[in-house]
Amino acid sequence: MSGLQPFIVPAIQGSYFIAAVLFILGLKAMSSPVTARGGIVWAGVGMLLATLATFLTPGLHNIGLMLVAIAVGTVLAWWSGKTVKMTDMPQMIAIYNGMGGGAAAAIAAVEFARGEALSPLVAGLAALGALIGAVAFSGSCVAYAKLQGLMNKTFRLPAQNAVNAVLSLVTVGLGVAVVLGQPADPTLVVAFFVAALLLGAIVTLPIGGADMPVVISLFNAFTGLAVGLEGFVLGNPALMIAGIVVGAAGTLLTQLMARAMNRPLSNILFVPMGTAGGDDGGVTGSMRALTPLDAAAVMRYAQKVIIVPGYGMAVAHAQHKVWEMAMLLEEAGVEVKFAIHPVAGRMPGHMNVLLAEAGVPYDKIFDLEDINAEFATADVALVIGANDVVNPAARTNKSSPIYGMPILNADYAQNVIVVKRGQGTGYSGIENALFYNDNTRMLYGSAQQVVAEVIANVKTMQA
């Protein structure tokens, strides 16, 4: 083994470089649904390579504990990945984000707990990574609890923003004290981590469901940044590169999603949609219902149908039935397309994942900017469990909390059919003006059951 000693460090560094290349190529491949699966595999191979290379590090301790942790984590991840429902995927992503941030914070905690004096640069990077990682961890836990239904969608403290500001200052002050007081005082370190964890939870508590996709993306960026900073602390190039890549990608995605809602990130964090003030669209009139038979007839004899899926489709597990219906309509000569809003669902790309699971071809799924002009030429816009992303109040009512948010122009279609379980408002609590339009009809019931009835009626018309 001693003869190989001169080659070990170059081998480790070379492995980290190859892993970094695989991370970047994998992330690039994930930008398209066609290559996303391959991208995930490439990034996974890169992570495996970096992990194996780490075990070659000279003088590495606690190898047994590391192997146990890897084994436990692998089993839990495999089991949860195989058993998680598609409707629960957003909260799974949220908690996985949180675990990454928590791991980064734990690295800093271990470095401070050694009782050794760290250089100002290393201590500063460790504290900054700990702050960001702890906020991402506790905030993601709150997001998980909200999405899982374990707590109210929104909970706002009196003087919420003042509490946020004071707690932020206290946390930063404690972090500065830890950095300047090397070796770190254990009491200060504990107080710093408690304050950082509390800050993440307090900031996330008021944020409602409509903003949750952006928040999940933001915490993903936080986790990447925290991991990158702790990579500098440990001198680990793999952590540095992986963290920077994830942090940069998450930041760009967060900006794109915030722009898709036409809301600055500061408003999402500090003026949640449910508390932004103003009315809910000033809608008047009543909703008019139609039967599955009527809906089947309208779509069966249409030339173009655009389907707009939302979280209601996910809850009802209706994506397979929706695709079955779409194929029946196509057999009858109807052109069918799917329109996806950037923030539809409860996480980035939620609807794309559901439709891909059902087998919908990628070339039938269109983003907002690619499909919006076609609604005016569509005979039917079929909205399944979506709310804010098709609400015309975003264009017309300046006092609406969603005013200015780009929406899918479903109301421009000749006929609009909305599949909805009842007459209540959506997850964000905002009334939808689309449901009261003259060209809109409501198809009440669970999406899977309703679409199954539509399918049965379409089949009779084709017999």
Q: Each residue of 420-453: pLDDT tens digit? A: 876 655 555 677 888 888 889 999 988 899 999 9
Mean pLDDT computed over 86-102: 84
Specify if 99 maps to a domain.
yes
Q: What is the pLDDT of residue 195?
A: 94
360 and 432 co-located in one domain: yes
Specify if 283 maps to a domain.
no
Q: What is the pLDDT of residues 376-398, one digit of tens each?
A: 999 999 999 888 888 888 888 77
CATH number at 366 reads: 3.40.50.1220
Q: What is the pLDDT of residue 278?
A: 46
396 and 365 co-located in one domain: yes
Domain boundary among 222, 250, 275: 275
92 and 217 co-located in one domain: yes
Give the mean pLDDT of the chain. 85
Mean pLDDT computed over 123-130: 92
3 state SS for the chain: CHHHHHHHHHHHHHHHHHHHHHHHHHHHHCCCCCCHHHHHHHHHHHHHHHHHHHCCCCCCCCHHHHHHHHHHHHHHHHHHHHHCCHHHHHHHHHHHHHHHHHHHHHHHHHHHHCCCCCCHHHHHHHHHHHHHHHHHHHHHHHHHHHHCCCCCCCCCCCCHHHHHHHHHHHHHHHHHHHHHCCCCCHHHHHHHHHHHHHHHHHHHCCCCHHHHHHHHHHHHHHHHHHHHHHHHHHCCHHHHHHHHHHHHHHHHHHHHHHHHCCCCHHHHHHCCHHHCCCCCCCCCCCCCECCHHHHHHHHHCCCEEEEEECHHHHHCCCHHHHHHHHHHHHHCCCEEEEEECCCCCCCCCHHHHHHHHHCCCHHHEEEHHHHHHHHHHCCEEEEECCCHHHCCHHHHCCCCCCCCCCCCCHHHCCEEEEEECCCCCCCCCCCCHHHHCCCEEEEECCHHHHHHHHHHHHHHHHC
In this predicted structure, the answer to whether residue 137 has a pLDDT above a threshold of 90 is yes
In this predicted structure, the answer to whether residue 247 has a pLDDT above a threshold of 50 is yes
Q: What is the pLDDT of residue 301?
A: 92
* pLDDT range class, residue 372, cuts 50, 70, 90: very high
Mean pLDDT computed over 254-281: 65
303 and 267 co-located in one domain: no
Domain that holds residue 249: 2-275
Specify if 30 maps to a domain.
yes
Specify if 402 maps to a domain.
yes
Mean pLDDT computed over 222-242: 87
194 and 68 co-located in one domain: yes
Mean pLDDT computed over 254-263: 77
Q: What is the pLDDT of residue 185?
A: 86
Specify if 19 maps to a domain.
yes
Q: What is the pLDDT of residue 283?
A: 64
More confident residue, 301 or 267: 301
pLDDT > 70 fraction of the chain, expressed in percent and rounded: 91
339 and 246 co-located in one domain: no
244 and 382 co-located in one domain: no
In this predicted structure, the answer to whether residue 282 has a pLDDT above a threshold of 70 is no
Q: What is the pLDDT of residue 427?
A: 54
* pLDDT range class, residue 375, cuts 50, 70, 90: very high
41 and 118 co-located in one domain: yes
Q: What is the pLDDT of residues 57-85, one digit of tens each?
A: 887 888 889 899 999 988 998 898 888 87
Specify if 286 maps to a domain.
no
In this predicted structure, the answer to whether residue 276 has a pLDDT above a threshold of 50 is no
Mean pLDDT computed over 334-346: 87
Instruction: Determine whether 388 is an active site residue.
Output: yes
* pLDDT range class, residue 273, cuts 50, 70, 90: low
Mean pLDDT computed over 272-279: 50
Specify if 284 maps to a domain.
no
Domain boundary among 275, 308, 334: 275
Q: What is the pLDDT of residue 10?
A: 83
428 and 326 co-located in one domain: yes
**Per the residue annotation, which of 211, 280, 388, 411 is the catalytic one?**
388
In this predicted structure, the answer to whether residue 281 has a pLDDT above a threshold of 60 is no
Domain boundary among 241, 275, 309: 275
When divided into structural domains, the chain yields a total of: 2
Q: What is the pLDDT of residue 213?
A: 78
* pLDDT range class, residue 339, cuts 50, 70, 90: very high
Q: What is the pLDDT of residue 8?
A: 80
In this predicted structure, the answer to whether residue 277 has a pLDDT above a threshold of 80 is no
153 and 193 co-located in one domain: yes
pLDDT > 90 fraction of the chain, expressed in percent and rounded: 33
263 and 369 co-located in one domain: no
315 and 218 co-located in one domain: no
More confident residue, 463 or 106: 106
Specify if 285 maps to a domain.
no
Q: What is the pLDDT of residues 156-170, one digit of tens each?
A: 778 878 888 899 999
